[in-house]
Amino acid sequence: MEKDRKETPVSPILGKQSVSLQKPVYMIDSASIVGKKEGEGPLGDLFDLVGEDDMFGAQTWEDAESTLQKEALGTALRKAGWKAQEVRYLFAGDLLGQEIATSFGLVNYELPLFGLYGACSTCGLSLTLASMIISGGFADKAACVTSSHFASAEKEFRFPLAYGNQRPLSATWTVTGSGAFLLGAEKTGKARAKITGLTPGKIVDYGLKDSMNMGACMAPAAADTIEQHLKDFGRQPDYYDKIITGDLGKVGQTVLIDLLNKKGIDISGQHMDCGIEIFDAGEQDTHAGGSGCGCSAVTLSAYVLKMLEEGVWKRVLFAPTGALLSKTSFNEGQNVPGIAHGVVLESPV
C-alpha cells in the first residue's frame, strides 16, 4: 500500500480552485499582540501581549505597527523554542501603502521574505502560500505575519483622527494587533492545529462603493470562496464546527448568510466572524465590529487555535476577507471589490 502510494502520488489539485493536503502542514505555534482597546474586549485575556498604549514605544503609528509585527514573530519564536534562522521563508503583509509595516517590522530578522497583499484577507493568503510551499517540499519551516493598527489605517484610508468625524453604524473599527504563525512540515512535539485544505479566492465585485460599509462589500467574496470550497471538497457546512470570516462585522454577516441561503447553503449554524468576537460592540462603541489584517490574525491565534488545540472544535474553515480599495481608488469613484482565501484547520489531537 505504502509502495503503491509512492508510485502514483495523489494530486493535491481538487476541483476548480482548491488544494487538498494529503499530508497536513502543522501550525506549530503562534502569537498575538494587541492594543489597549482589544485587550479590554471579550478575548482580552487570551492574547499573548496587550500594549499599555497604542504607540508600543515607537514615535509614529506606522513604526508602532512595525513593532507589533516584530514582537508577534519574536513571541511566537520564543513560545516554540525556534531560532529565527530556522525559519526558511517569511510570508507577510499589512494594509499600509507599499507595506511599510512589514518591511520595517521584519527587516532585522534577515530572512527571505515573500511580501503579500490581500487587504484584510492577508492572514489567509499567507497561510495558503506557506502551506503550499511547505507541502511542496520547498521549506521545512516557515512563518506568516500580518498586522493592522487603528491609527495608521485611519490615516491611510479615511480621515485624520484629529478631525473627529462621525462613523456610520455599518463602519468597522480597525484592530490594533499582529498575529504570527509558525508552520512546519513535521509535528515535532506539540502543534496547535494542522492545515489540510486550501481554497484561494478570486476578486468578486458586486459594484458596491461604500467604504463605510466594507462588510457588505466583502460578503460576496466570502460567499464565493465558501461556496466553491464546499463544492470542491464535496462537503456540507456542518462538516465544520465553525466557518470563520475575518471582519465582515454584523452587516456583512447578514449579507453573507443571505447570499449563501439563496444558493441553498445554510451556514447560519456554523458562521463566526472574528470582527464580531473581538469587541463588545455595545460597550466598546465599535459599531459593526473589528476589521483589519490584525483582526482575523489575532483572533485565530488567541481563540480559534485554542479551541482546536483543546479539541473543543475538530475542524474549522478560516476564510478572512479583504476589501480591495485605496484612498485613490475610492476618490476616483471605483467600486470596492472583495477577496477571501479559505484555509481548513483541524484539531491536532
Which residues contact a second copy (rule: CB under 8 A)?
6-7, 9, 11-13, 17, 19, 60, 62-63, 88-89, 93, 95-100, 103-104, 106-107, 110-119, 125, 128-129, 132-133, 135-140, 156, 200-203, 205, 324-329, 332, 334, 337, 339
Cβ(339)–Cβ(220) below 8 Å: no
Place of cell 473543543: 312
Nearer to a second copy, 60 or 268 (CB): 60
First to last CA, the chain: 25
**Shortest distance (Å) from residue 128 CB to a second copy:** 8
**Shortest distance (Å) from residue 348 CB to a second copy:** 23
Nearer to a second copy, 132 or 265 (CB): 132
Helix (H) or strand (E) holding 57: none
DSSP of 285-296: T-TT-EESHHHH
**Shortest distance (Å) from residue 200 CB to a second copy:** 4
Cβ(18)–Cβ(232) below 8 Å: yes
**Shortest distance (Å) from residue 238 CB to a second copy:** 25
**Shortest distance (Å) from residue 302 CB to a second copy:** 26
Nearest residue to 287 via CA among 212, 177, 178:
212
Nearer to a second copy, 19 or 208 (CB): 19
Nearest residue to 245 via CA among 264, 262, 232, 260:
260
Nearer to a second copy, 63 or 277 (CB): 63
**Shortest distance (Å) from residue 133 CB to a second copy:** 6
Nearer to a second copy, 61 or 279 (CB): 61
Nearest residue to 23 via CA among 123, 137, 142:
137
SS3 call for 67: helix
Nearer to a second copy, 107 or 169 (CB): 107
SS3 call for 30: strand
Pairwise CA distance, residues 152 & 148, whole Å? 8
